[in-house]
Amino acid sequence: MALLPSEVSLRITFNDECEDINECALGISSCPISQRCDNSIGSYICTREVNCGTGYTYNSDNQQCTDDNECELGTHNCGPAYDCHNLQGSFRCTIKTCPPGETINLQTGVCREVQCARGFRADIQGNCVDVNECETRPDTCRRNQRCHNTIGSYECKNLLNCGTGYELSEDGTQCMDLDECTTGTHECRGGQICRNRPGGYTCQCETGYIYNGIIKICEDINECERYGSYICSRTADCINTPGSYTCECHDGFRADETGKICRDINECEESTTICHQQCLNTWGSYQCHCDSGYQLAEDKRTCRDIDECSLWSGRGSLCIGYCENTPGSYACTCPQGYTLSTDGRTCQDNDECETNPCQLDELCLNTRGDKKCITITCPQNYVKDPDQNNRCTRESVVCQQGDQACINRPLAVSYNHLAFQSNMHIRPGGLDFFTMRGALWSTTTLRFEMEMVNARVPQSIVAATQESFRLKRVGANQAIIALMEPLKGPQEVELSLKMKIFSNGQYAGVAVAKIYIYVSPHDF
C-alpha cells in the first residue's frame, strides 16, 4: 500500500530543476516496522514483508501471524454428520459418534437404530456383526455336545456320534432308536402311514394307493386308466375316486341288478307323454318327431305348427297372392279381382273389361285386381282423332302473326293410361314403358321434354318423384320414358311429354302426350 508523506516529496536544485526526494533513504516514510519502504518518483510504497499463509491472519498489534479458527468462524466444509476440530492453520472433520446399535445418516446427521437379522448385532460403527452364541451363552448346547459357531447361528455337535435313525440319550452315554413316527420327524406325506423300525421307519400306503419313491408320497391308483374298459362296460363311465372307483351309466342307460352292466332304457315305452307327437327309441336315448307341417320346439319334445307363410316370405313366396297359415299346412287365397289358378298358388288377374262394364263413350282400362272407366273429353277447339280415340287434334292450326298463345297451343293431345303392379322389379337401366315418335324429315328437328304433373297417394305411401322416371332420346325422331325405381301402390301418377317441332330452325308447334299410371296395391 502506498502512503503519501506529509512533507514535500520534490525539491528544487541549484540549477532550478525539481529532484525526487528518497523518503526511504532519508527515513522520513510512515511505513511501520513490519513493512518495507520502496521509493517511487514523487512518493514511496509500503510493502508488507511477512506472508502468513493459508489458515493464518496477520495481527498488526503484535505484528504476528495468528491461527484462524475455521470451526468458530464457520468457514469449514464439514457436513452435518461430522464434527469440526480446529488445527493450526487448518481444521479436521471427524464423523459424529452414535450410541451403540445406531448409525448416522450422512445427509441429515441424525443417528438411527440399526436393524440386524437374528444372530447378528450392531457394533459401535453401526455394522451388523455375527453373534458368537457359543461365547455369549455357555449353556447353548448340552454337556455331551460341543458348540460350533456359524454365521448368524450355531451348531451343537454330539461328542458321541449315533447312526441315522438313532439319538443320544439324555446322559450322553448311549445311542437309542429314534421313533420318527412318534416325534413327527418322518417324511411320510399325503395319506401315508408311518411304521417305525430300528434305526428308521417305513411309509406304507392304504388300499387303492401306491407309493411314489421319488417324491415320497402315496399316489391314488387310477383304476380307470390302469384297467381301462375291463372294469366298466362301454355304456358306462369309469369315475376314479380316492382309493377306489365307480361305474356310472351313460344317460339313457340303467345298471342291472349286478351293478356291472348298463342296459338301454326305452323311454318311449316308459313314458307315453315324453314326446308331443311321435317318439322313436334309440340306443341310449330317444328322438321326438313331428307330423308333416310341424317342427320340434327348442325343448326337442314339443311340436309346433310351421308358419309356412312367414318362413317362405320373401324367398320365392309359397303363394303368388295371399298366404294363410293353417295347422300343419297353409292355403293360398286371392284378393277381389283375382282368381286362384289350378296350381293352388298363383293369383291371376281378372280382366274386368271383357264384360264391357263401361259406358259406350268410355274407355275400359283393366288394372291389377280392378278396372278404370276412362272418359276422354277434348279441350275447347279440339276434336277426337277418328283414327285414335285417345287423341284430340286442333280444329284449326292457322294463327295470326304475333298470336303467341295460339302458336303455343298443342297441335294434338293424346291421353295414355297404363296399369302397373306394386313394387315391380326394375332392371339396371330402367323399364321402358312409353314411346313417342315424330315425323322424320330432313328439315324437321324435334325436342322432347318430360314433366311429372302430379302423384296421388295415401298418406302412408311414398309418392313417385321426377327422379322416378327418365327421358331417353332414341334416334332423331323418338323418345322413350323409362321407370327407374319400383313404385309402391296404390297411387296414381300423371306425366306430361311434350314434343316440340322446329322446321328449318323455326318453331312450328308442339304435340303433347298425357300419361296416366295406375299402380295397384298388390305386387302380383
pLDDT tens digits for range 148-163: 888 888 888 877 777 7
Confidence of residue 106 (pLDDT cuts 50, 70, 90): confident
340-341-346-348 Cα dihedral, nearest 10 degrees: -70
At 24 the three-state DSSP class reads helix
Q: Which three cell numbers stand for residue 173?
A: 452315554
CA gap 524, 519 in Å, rounded: 11
Please tell me if the domain spanning 10-48 has the same topology as the one spanning 309-349: yes
CA gap 238, 234 in Å, rounded: 10
How far, rounded to the nearest angstrom, does the alpha carbon of residue 485 sit from its chain's CA centroid?
A: 41
How confident is the model over 300-324, as a mean pLDDT? Answer: 85
H or E stretch at 238: strand 236-241
| CATH, range 223-264 | 2.10.25.10
Given a contact cutoff of 8 angstroms between Cβ atoms, the answer to whether 133 and 147 are in contact is: yes
Instruction: State the Cα angle at 501 between 497 and 505, rounded to 5°.
Output: 140
- Residue 116's Cβ-side half-sphere holds a number of Cα atoms within 13 Å equal to 19
- Provide DSSP, 80-119: TTEEEEEETTEEEEEEPPPPTTEEE-TTT--EEE----TT
Residue written as cell 495481527? Answer: 59
Task: Give the architecture-level CATH label for domain 10-48.
Answer: Ribbon (2.10)
Q: What is the pLDDT of residue 7?
A: 42
**Count of CB atoms within 10 A of residue 478's CB?**
16
Running DSSP on this structure, what letter comes out for residue 369?
A: T
User: How does pLDDT run across 5-36, given as a tens digit for each residue?
Assistant: 444 566 655 566 788 888 887 878 888 766 78
User: How does pLDDT run across 270-300, given as a tens digit for each residue?
Assistant: 888 899 999 999 998 999 999 999 999 999 9
User: How does pLDDT run across 389-420, given as a tens digit for each residue?
Assistant: 899 999 887 888 778 888 889 999 999 999 99
**Count of CB atoms within 10 A of residue 204's CB?**
13
Q: What is the pLDDT of residue 15?
A: 64
What are the domain boundaries of the chain?
Answer: 10-48, 56-95, 223-264, 267-305, 309-349, 359-519
As assigned by CATH, the class of the 359-519 domain is mainly beta
Residue written as cell 447361528? Answer: 153
CA gap 437, 451 in Å, rounded: 17
| CATH, range 267-305 | 2.10.25.10
Task: Give the architecture-level CATH label for domain 309-349.
Answer: Ribbon (2.10)
CA gap 228, 243 in Å, rounded: 16
Q: How many angstroms separate the Cα of 406 from the Cα of each of 359, 380, 382, 384, 413?
A: 34, 13, 13, 19, 15
